[in-house]
Amino acid sequence: MKVTETDVDEDEVIYVNGPNDTEVRGETKILVSDLKEVVTMKHENDMYEVEFKSLPHGLKHPHKASNLPQNLQLNRFKTTFPYDHSRVILKKEQNDSTDYINANFIDGVRNQKAYIATQGPKTITLEDFWRMTWQNKCGKIIMLANLVEVGKVKCTTYWTGSDGGPLELGLFQVTLQEETEYAFYTIRKLSVKSKQTNSRRQVIQYHFTRWPDHGVPEPFELLQFYKRVKSGHTDLKGPLIVHCSAGIGRTGSYIAMDALLLEGVSSREIDVFAYVEKMRKDRMNMIQTAKQYEMLHFIVLEGLNVVTTSMSKTDLCRVITDMLEGGIPRQQYEVLNAEKPEYKTTDFETALKNKNKNRNQAILAVEKYKTRLMSTTSGYINAVNIPAYRTPYGYILTQHPMDNTTTDFLSLIAQERSDTVVSIGTLQNKPSWPTTKGARTKFGNFLVTTVQCDYHSVGSERVEEKQLAIENKETGTDTQITLFETPSWGMSLPESSFMLELIQVIQCRRGMDAASVIITCRRDQYVFCYKLVKDYLEANTVYANV
């Protein structure tokens, strides 16, 4: 079905969060050292809704330019307008040029015009968007919406032509030089040529692809995206362009996150309420929902307390050595445990209704992350989705199947079309897969046949590799998988050489879309991960494909 772009769209009704008569009084500034306590208290007392509704709402300042007849069609939504006092005014480079674009300059906590908040470009505003980018010497663009969401156009493609070639505009030519996709975001390097001066600039677009429609993103995912943006280099010193669809909700959330994290690091105190209020003086309704406002607190908390750094391979090897000697990974593990979310009983509702399907009642699948099993009424299996570096659904973490969950486990494999299963260690009460070539074992409606058996040894460690054919007698469907089992890996940890060999074997065997089923880790395994990375980097000529 073809999705078309309307001239001017209705405002998104999900963002109706009108004001109330409550005012936030007293001090709203928070010390970073007190942030976790304050964030937890506000969550427990439902204070985010109250604070959010006390923010100035709607159009509060003159916006005459946006309502001029010639400019109305340049707005994506009917009532989302830029204020006159802070709007980005374009230089007229041709006689028929307009000086109008639906965009505002937004100040940081301490610096002026640090950001440009704008709507997602429309077909008729493509050239205006690039005029704004060029005239303000902007080197980075943050995109927070997808082109189409729930059947509605949210933004027009502004980085390439319809045929994949350069985007030819009156004053500019935009060429996509490089596009790299990751689990949560895509990075596009663009070459922008001014046809007037015949000069070129490189602009980097950072596209966050995991902001759910009508919801808020995972703080971890948005933070990883944010850190990638911050680590990117540009010689252009203009404002950071941030846009979603309307340029106020997700856009306001991202700008506030960036500004407050910078302020928290430099001054060790932040004022979320005051900064959102400040943004709304320059663009209407920045941050559109109470959920976005609440998320902002949690993401700033995590960003200020869990610090990560990007570095070169050489530096990383040296730093890991120093960290291991100083016991830093164990300290990090404690910090991660301290910062993990506090879940309520309702967060484990399905898991608690299916207690007999959990091997350990202390390790349950959280509602928002659990893998839904389509073949059962409850839909429950103790499994969660984990992203890979490049894809959002790279892995599924689950427990060893029990006698009463073996058919669920096999259903999961078939449902997710996984061609690689990794079983770490040996436990009692696990299913007895057929062990010799040609042997068969029946589990409910499933018939499992061993097609091939092999093993790999590194020192005293052993990996058993089985090619299994799984036939569902009820549906008539067949699934082929490679099962890797590590019976020698018990309570003690293996040698790094063994683990690297295992990873190498798995990477060579697995398909591009496979989901590997593995087990969660304990604290000593967290330290082991550091050792493994160090050993891999120092021996990457041997394990070049890992």
State which of 144-153, 340-349, 393-402 shows the largest mean pLDDT.
144-153
Annotate 60-88 with DSSP letters as a single string. -S--TGGGSTTTGGG-SBTT--B-TTTBP
Percent of the chain with pLDDT over 70: 85
Rounded-to-integer distance, Cα 289 and Cα 293, Å = 6
Q: Which of the residue ranges 5-19, 218-232, 277-291 would you say has the lowest mean pLDDT? A: 5-19
Query: In 65-220, where do the E strands start and end?
Result: 103-106, 115-118, 140-143, 148-149, 152-153, 167-168, 172-181, 185-194, 199-208
The candidate with the shortest Cα–Cα distance to 275, out of 484, 137, 109, is 109
Which of the four pLDDT bands, split at 50, 70 and 90, describes residue 310? low
Within the chain, what is the greatest distance between any pair of CA atoms?
Answer: 81
Quote the pLDDT of residue 523.
57
Which of the four pLDDT bands, split at 50, 70 and 90, describes residue 541? very low
Residues written for the chain: 546
Tell me the chain's radius of gyration from C-alpha atoms: 27
In the numeric block, the tokens 């928002």 are attached to 368
**For the chain, first and last CA: distance in Å?**
40
Listed in sequence order, the residues at least 6 apart from 182 whose beta carbon sits closer than 8 Å to its beta carbon are: 228, 389, 390
| Structural domains of the chain, ranges and CATH numbers in brackets | 30-305 (3.90.190.10), 313-538 (3.90.190.10)
Q: Is the pLDDT of residue 46 over 80?
A: yes
Rounded-to-integer distance, Cα 55 and Cα 49, Å = 10
State which of 3-12, 242-251, 402-411 shows the largest mean pLDDT.
242-251
Query: Exposed/middle/buried for 505, CB within 10 Å: 0-12, 13-18, 19+?
Result: middle
- Whole-number Cα distances in Å, 127 to 93, 104, 403: 11, 17, 63
In the numeric block, the tokens 């932040």 are attached to 270
Q: Is the pLDDT of residue 328 over 80?
A: no
- Residue 283 has what DSSP assignment? B
Listed in sequence order, the residues at least 6 apart from 393 whose beta carbon sits closer than 8 Å to its beta carbon are: 385, 387, 515
Quote the pLDDT of residue 434.
85
Q: Is the pLDDT of residue 457 over 90?
A: no
Q: Is the pLDDT of residue 517 over 70?
A: no
Quote the pLDDT of residue 509.
65
The candidate with the shortest Cα–Cα distance to 263, out of 253, 275, 251, 254, is 275
Which of the four pLDDT bands, split at 50, 70 and 90, describes residue 25? low
Residue 497: HSE in the Cβ half-sphere, 13 Å Cα cutoff: 8
Which of the four pLDDT bands, split at 50, 70 and 90, describes residue 13? very low
Quote the pLDDT of residue 120.
97
pLDDT digits (tens, 9 = 90+) for 163-191: 889 999 999 999 999 999 999 999 999 99
Quote the pLDDT of residue 76.
96
Quote the pLDDT of residue 421.
83
Quote the pLDDT of residue 214.
67
Average confidence (pLDDT) over 228-241: 96
Which of the four pLDDT bands, split at 50, 70 and 90, describes residue 483? confident
pLDDT digits (tens, 9 = 90+) for 100-115: 999 999 999 999 999 9
Q: pTM of this prediction? A: 0.85
CA 493 to chain centre: 31
For residues 357 and 324, the model is more confident at 357
- Positions marked catalytic: 244
Percent of the chain with pLDDT over 90: 54
Average pLDDT value for the chain:
86
Average confidence (pLDDT) over 222-240: 95
